[in-house]
Amino acid sequence: MEHKDVRINENQSSPSSNMIIEHKAYARVGLLGNPSDVYFGRTISFSLGNFWASVRLVPSEDIVITPHPTHDLVQFRSLDHLVHRLNNEGYYGGVRLLMAICKVFHNHCKDNGIDLIGGNFTLSYDTNIPRQTGLSGSSAIVCAALNCLLDFYKVRHLVKVEVRPNLILNAEEELGIVAGLQDRVAQVYGGLIYMDFSREHMEKLGHGIYTPLDISLLPPLHLIYAENPSDSGKVHSTVRQRWLNGDEFIISSIKEVANIALEGSTALVERNYSKLADLMNRNFDLRRCMFGDDVLGSINLEMVAVARRVGAASKFTGSGGAVVVFCPGGPSQVKLLEEACQKAGFILQPIEVVPSRLNDVDLKILSSR
């Protein structure tokens, strides 16, 4: 599958009426260490080629944010249709995400003395990332839009690669979305990334230390998700507050989860896949102990259980909604997993990992640090 995701048509040195810019940003899978990224921990994540969001920027007389015909639906066949739509899709589409990153991008450039020279534009988006699956669908839209803005205003070389995940997160925080940096790092960098969010780095640099790993180190992986993840855990978690309150169990568990990512990076480099399987299972077990079954939700728990019943390793890709699975037994075990998922009503897909998303300008910025 071809992953070239940007199209820039221009013949002039400044934004012009014939310029069209398009970027894709892919879903992400948290392989190990999540959710320690929001607790000064460590994680390993990768870009998931199965699903993506795309954003298109076209110069225009005014700034226009175009609603998506499906995801920003405002016309309904009936009241029943409206209610069904809200129950399944929620109240918000992608328009607010595009508006938020425009604001955050503008403010960042203004605060850092970066001149934005050029006209106005129209932004539109599309996405095939399933909703409520913990695959970072919202941040994918924001990431793709940020890349469009960087290229439209020709300031990619002036906005540090390490800072871009923060900008994406800031845009989401504008909208009350609670998340960590892990997903945004994976989507900005692409490929397979080891991330260290230790307090020392975060307080000194404002971001973590991000180390790309070769995607060939990964064994074959699979994704399980539910077509309608209505029970994705409805009970509010107290883990964050308990961590802030100094709860020893939570603090020690988070440290262990972070160490799982550190051990996992070694296991991947050494291609010790039996160790990787153990770490994946341990990661989920610790999450379950910290958050509890009511928070995680019965469908999420069953997706993990379906994989484990056939001897596969499994854990959440994020906070719930989808599960990443490793079958150390090979094709015969995958076949058993396929049958089990079909019986349980879950969707199973082989995972495709997207290589690095960084272009020559980005790599030059990183090499000049």
Q: Tell me how far the alpha carbon of residue 164 is from its chain's centroid.
A: 14
Q: Which of these is catalytic: 37, 126, 151, 183?
A: 183
The counts of H helices and E strands in the chain are 13, 11
Length of the chain: 369
Query: Pairing between strand 192-196 and 221-226?
Result: unpaired
Beta bridge partners of 211: 194
Structure tokens at 163: 């800072």
Separation CA 188–CA 97 (nearest Å): 16
Under DSSP, is residue 79 helix (H, G, I), strand (E, B) or coil? Answer: helix
Contact between 317 and 222 (Cβ < 8 Å): no
Q: Token pair 């001149």 is at which residue? A: 115
Query: In the annotation, is 196 catalytic?
Result: no
| Conformational region of residue 321, where left means phi above 0, alpha means psi within -120 to 50, and beta covers everything else | left
Contact between 19 and 9 (Cβ < 8 Å): yes
Structure tokens at 42: 């460590």
| Enzyme catalytic residues | 183
